[in-house]
């Protein structure tokens, strides 16, 4: 149902931000067709939609990073047209991106006061006043970070909080968070949410972008759905359901989220024995068999990604061994791991694994090219074919195969890296957070694909922080906590309770 009134009926708080039919093209790509949104003071407004729906583009227009081609944009009722991010900031717009942009060498306080130092008498920089102000801010936000320490080495979560503190000290009236929780642990998400709620209660307007419905329902008051660059609807969170939102996002019913199919489990492929990397993980042993999906669960920071990186040879390890079909795989050599038939789809796909200034097609065939071109087996025709097949299986939304990867939406970049590794047709696929940043419609497609690959005999090690995904997909669940495997649970026995328990409690022998 399309309504022209994007505000929630019944609420009469002032409107902080209003967009009406905002459009933006990049060359032939119409990124935003008709962006419409009304954010009220004292509310947290979710902005949701499939990968490539235009959410980040809309936000970047509000932030002064892009300039709109047409449409209306009002802040506090006044027409605005920001030519720079500085103008948007000065008008009271603050945007927290997934990857914060602090200066690592500067202190926390210096970062917060970047570009507008407090000066005392005689124009001298008043460090004490600035420090005092930061302490006051942190107390108000309930944050325990040393204002004097350098930004370098702070967790992503702490860096985001500092960006928020900066926004608050600038008295931002609108705070936008574009997928802020992707790299956060549960506790960190809770802290972020409580800060967001207190800013809402102070009467600011907040926009929250996320692919996680549990977060949207826990945090937000209002939700606006976008599809294909256009406004679809706005509803009060209390008046809607996850399945209704999915339907509006994808324009059809998405029924089964985790279509697990049973596959025959065969011989052992990947065997990891007593793997230890001092201070990172300890005594890790497990086997992945043909046709089997092994889930690796645990909290963020438990050491799961580190194990994956060591097995694939990106990082080294001190003790233990890795073998494939009984043959040892040399440590610290990804090329050897690839030859042995192992592929690793990393967690941070944009940073590790995407050549942003290359085309989509080139990116997808990059890893097979490395394997095949040497033997003169890969023609341009074959290459284009492979790229087309994988791009369409994962529903990569790109204008053409030679579209530069940098211009894809966040989730579509994730899909390209996924396609790149699936195209190598490995025997064992290690996949770190397979559906992070990926929209609900494609999520079930990724799950279907993983099931199908396992059905054809691939062994899959799936690291995931989403319990429903682990419980839905895995034949066996390994749980890690503080660098150790604390439990191994069969599919039939796995429940969210026992997986969470193992993820948060030391097991008997290590207690």
Ligand X SMILES: Nc1ncnc2c1ncn2[C@@H]1O[C@H](COP(=O)(O)OP(=O)(O)OP(=O)(O)O)[C@@H](O)[C@H]1O
Coil, strand or helix at 323 = strand
Q: Minimum CB separation from ligand X for residue 482, in Å?
A: 32
Options 16, 53, 137, 245; binder of ligand X; rule CB under 6 A: 53
Report the residue count for the chain.
511
Q: Using CA atoms, how far apart are residues 160 and 154, in angstroms rounded to an integer?
A: 10
Which x/- pattern, by CB under 6 A, does the window 409-438 give for ligand X? Answer: xxxx--------------------------
Q: Using CA atoms, how far apart are residues 440 and 378, in angstroms rounded to an integer?
A: 35
Q: Minimum CB separation from ligand X for residue 458, in Å?
A: 26
Residues with Cβ within 8 Å of 492's Cβ and at least 6 positions away in sequence, in order, are: none
442 is an interface residue for ligand X by CB under 6 A: no
Q: Minimum CB separation from ligand X for residue 374, in Å?
A: 33
Options 52, 291, 320, 483; binder of ligand X; rule CB under 6 A: 52
Angle, alpha carbons 24-25-26 (nearest 5°): 130
Q: Minimum CB separation from ligand X for residue 229, in Å?
A: 7
Q: How many residues bind Mg ion (CB under 5 A)?
A: 2
Nearer to ligand X, 33 or 191 (CB): 33
414 is an interface residue for Mg ion by CB under 5 A: no
Which x/- pattern, by CB under 5 A, does the window 46-65 give for Mg ion? Answer: ----------x---------
35 is an interface residue for ligand X by CB under 6 A: no
Query: What is the H or E stretch that residue 454 is in?
Result: helix 440-455
Backbone angles phi, psi at 290, to 5 degrees: -60, 135
164 is an interface residue for ligand X by CB under 6 A: no
DSSP 32: E
Q: Minimum CB separation from Mg ion for residue 55, in Å?
A: 5
Coil, strand or helix at 282 = strand
Nearer to ligand X, 145 or 174 (CB): 174
451 is an interface residue for Mg ion by CB under 5 A: no
Q: Which parts of 250-340 are beta strand (E)?
A: 268-277, 281-289, 293-298, 319-324, 327-328
214-217 — which CB contacts under 8 Å span 24+ positions?
215/181, 215/189, 216/46, 216/48, 216/245, 217/242
Q: How many residues bind ligand X (CB under 6 A)?
A: 18
Q: Minimum CB separation from ligand X for residue 403, in Å?
A: 7
Q: Minimum CB separation from ligand X for residue 366, in Å?
A: 19
Q: Using CA atoms, how far apart are residues 362 and 368, in angstroms rounded to an integer?
A: 10
CB nearest ligand X: which residue? 411
346 is an interface residue for ligand X by CB under 6 A: no
- Exposure string for 283-313, b = 16+ CB within 10 A, e = fewer: ebebebbbbbbbbbbbbbbbbbbbbbbbbbb
Tokens of 141: 């936000």
98 is an interface residue for Mg ion by CB under 5 A: no
Residue 234 touches which of Mg ion, ligand X, none (Cβ within 5-8 Å per kind) = none
Nearer to Mg ion, 95 or 367 (CB): 95
35 is an interface residue for Mg ion by CB under 5 A: no
294 is an interface residue for ligand X by CB under 6 A: no
Which x/- pattern, by CB under 6 A, does the window 57-76 give for ligand X? Answer: x-------------------
CB nearest Mg ion: which residue? 56
Backbone angles phi, psi at 32, to 5 degrees: -135, 120
Q: Using CA atoms, how far apart are residues 157 and 298, in angstroms rounded to an integer?
A: 18
Q: Minimum CB separation from Mg ion for residue 54, in Å?
A: 9
Nearer to Mg ion, 55 or 481 (CB): 55
* Residue keyed to tokens 């209660």: 201
Gap between the terminal Cα atoms of the chain = 56
26 is an interface residue for ligand X by CB under 6 A: yes
Q: Using CA atoms, how far apart are residues 48 and 209, in angstroms rounded to an integer?
A: 6
C-beta of residue 262 within 8 angstroms of C-beta of residue 430: no
Residue 49 touches which of ligand X, Mg ion, none (Cβ within 5-8 Å per kind) = ligand X
**Using alpha carbons only, how large is the chain's radius of gyration in Å?**
24
Stretch that binds ligand X, among 8-16, 55-63, 231-239, 281-289 (CB under 6 A): 55-63
Question: Of the candidates 267, 316, 312, which has an alpha carbon nearest to the alpha carbon of residue 291?
Answer: 267
Options 95, 164, 408, 450; binder of ligand X; rule CB under 6 A: 408
Stretch that binds ligand X, among 47-55, 95-103, 236-244, 303-311 (CB under 6 A): 47-55
Nearer to ligand X, 31 or 196 (CB): 31
Nearer to ligand X, 291 or 410 (CB): 410
177 is an interface residue for ligand X by CB under 6 A: no
Kindly list the residues in this chain that would bind ligand X in the complex (CB under 6 A).
26, 29, 31, 49, 51-57, 397, 407-412
Kindly list the residues in this chain that would bind Mg ion in the complex (CB under 5 A).
56, 410
């Amino acid at each position: 149902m399309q309504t022209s009134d994007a505000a929630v009926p019944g609420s009469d708080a002032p409107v902080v931000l209003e967009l009406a039919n905002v459009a933006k093209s990049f060359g032939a790509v119409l990124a935003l067709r008709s962006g419409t949104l009304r954010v009220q003071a004292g509310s947290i407004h979710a902005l949701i939609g499939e990968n490539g729906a235009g959410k980040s583009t809309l936000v970047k227009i509000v932030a002064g990073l892009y300039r709109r081609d047409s449409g209306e944009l009002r802040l506090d009722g006044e027409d605005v047209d920001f030519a720079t991010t500085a103008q948007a900031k000065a008008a009271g717009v603050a945007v927290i991106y997934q990857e914060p942009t602090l200066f690592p060498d500067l202190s926390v306080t210096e970062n917060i006061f970047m570009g507008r130092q407090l000066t005392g008498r005689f124009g001298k920089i008043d460090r004490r006043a600035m420090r005092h102000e930061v302490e006051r801010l942190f107390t108000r936000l309930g944050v325990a970070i040393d204002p004097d320490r350098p930004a370098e080495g702070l967790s992503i979560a702490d860096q985001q909080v500092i960006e928020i503190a900066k926004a608050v000290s600038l008295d931002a009236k609108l705070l936008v968070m574009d997928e802020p929780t992707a790299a956060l642990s549960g506790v960190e998400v809770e802290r972020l949410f409580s800060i967001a709620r207190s800013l809402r209660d102070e009467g600011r307007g907040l926009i929250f972008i996320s692919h996680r419905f549990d977060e949207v329902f826990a945090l937000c008051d209002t939700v606006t759905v976008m599809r294909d660059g256009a406004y679809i609807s706005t509803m009060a969170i209390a008046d809607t359901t996850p399945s209704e939102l999915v339907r509006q996002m994808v324009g059809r019913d998405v029924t089964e989220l985790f279509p697990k199919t049973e596959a025959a489990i065969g011989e052992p492929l990947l065997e990891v024995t007593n793997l230890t990397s001092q201070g990172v993980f300890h005594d890790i042993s497990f086997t992945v068999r043909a046709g089997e999906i092994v889930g690796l669960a645990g909290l963020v920071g438990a050491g799961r990604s580190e194990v994956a990186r060591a097995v694939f040879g990106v990082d080294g390890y001190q003790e233990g061994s890795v073998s494939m079909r009984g043959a040892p795989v040399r440590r610290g050599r990804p090329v050897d791991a690839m030859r042995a038939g192992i592929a690793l789809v990393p967690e941070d796909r944009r940073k590790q694994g995407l050549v942003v200034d290359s085309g989509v097609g080139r990116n997808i065939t990059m890893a097979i090219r490395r394997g095949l071109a040497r033997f003169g087996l890969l023609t341009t025709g074959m290459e284009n074919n492979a790229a087309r097949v994988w791009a369409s299986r994962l529903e990569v939304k790109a204008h053409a195969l030679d579209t530069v990867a940098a211009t894809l939406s966040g989730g579509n970049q994730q899909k390209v890296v996924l396609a790149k590794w699936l195209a190598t047709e490995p025997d064992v696929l290690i996949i770190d957070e397979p559906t992070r940043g990926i929209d609900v419609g494609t999520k079930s497609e990724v799950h279907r694909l993983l099931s199908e690959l396992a059905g054809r005999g691939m062994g899959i090690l799936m690291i995931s922080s989403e319990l429903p995904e682990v419980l839905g997909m895995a034949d066996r669940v390994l749980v890690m906590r503080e660098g150790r495997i604390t439990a191994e649970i069969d599919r039939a026995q796995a429940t969210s309770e026992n997986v969470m328990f193992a993820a948060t409690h030391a097991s008997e022998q290590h207690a």
